[in-house]
Amino acid sequence: MKYRSSFASFIGVSVIVLFLVMCSQTVFSQAKRGSVPKKGTIKKPSQATRPSVSRPTQKNTTVKNRSKIKNSGNKTNINSGNKNVNINIDNSKHVNINNRNTVVRHNNYRPYSRPPYRYGGRRYYCHNPYYYHPYRPFYWGPRWHPWGFFIATLATTAIIISIENQQYHYDQGVYYIASNGGYTVVQAPIGATVTTLPKEAQTVVINETTNNYYYGGAYYEKDEKGYKVVPPTAGTIVESLPEGGEEVTIGDQKYVKIGETYYQPIQKDGKDVYEVVEVEEEENK
């Protein structure tokens, strides 16, 4: 009896162990298939219940490049450091706010030793002989822009200058006025004073005692407040001219006209340069 009881107990324990093993395998298999969630986790929805996401097509994700440039012959670059600016050039629309900055001033301290060139009822005075070379607009770098250049936004370095009830924005030697949702480059207004000029500005000789500073077609005189925009002075020699001029034929000579200023091509010390021409009307007799 003792052995029978022990054998029965052994059989009973074996059956229980076998039952527990089978149950654990069933639970493990169901958990592996996702039927039974693990403790402490959230059951993920099936594929049928997941919300569908509509991804934009390639057409909606393509951004058009709005920085298209109409180049009229000289090199033109975009300042890569100012990446939030949309830029366009339309050199057919030059905005002339104040033509006085291109009306030549007479130089009382430099009499002419050469007779003027006469044609069409006018006298064209220069200190140096005429020497033709073709007009090639000069490029002052990515921060400089010619008259008529349009820009959507200005750099944070731009300052505001008010001259004769007209508000200008100045930045790096360039003057802008607000127009059509952006800013258009205009001529440097006479009387505008700035504290600094671009490092590319050149010193030009007016006479034995006076110098001007020249940058991008604009002339400046130094005073106690800074650098003041002035008209060009007759006889001034500059090495380069900006975009926006036109080569005009007068008699058998060609000049470059920018605004109301005539520049005569000359050669100085073996270099092709330009001299500011003084133009006078012939007196009617």
Mean pLDDT, all residues of the chain? 76
- Domain membership flag for residue 142: yes
The count of other CB atoms within 10 Å of the CB of residue 139 is: 15
Give the model's pLDDT for residue 205. 92
Tell me what pLDDT residue 276 has: 97
* Domain span at 124: 68-281
Q: Residue 103 and residue 155: Cα distance in Å, rounded?
A: 31
Residue 39 banded pLDDT, cuts 50, 70, 90: very low
pLDDT at 50 over 70: no
Residue with tokens 């001219």: 241
pLDDT at 8 over 60: no
Which 3 state secondary structure label does DSSP give 38?
coil
**pLDDT level of residue 207 (50, 70, 90 thresholds):** confident
DSSP H/E element including 16: helix 2-32
Q: How many domains does the structure of the chain reveal?
A: 1
Q: Does residue 26 fall inside a structural domain? A: no
Q: What is the pTM of this model?
A: 0.66
Phi, psi of 23 (to 5 degrees): -65, -40
pLDDT tens-place string over residues 154-175 = 999 999 999 988 999 999 999 9
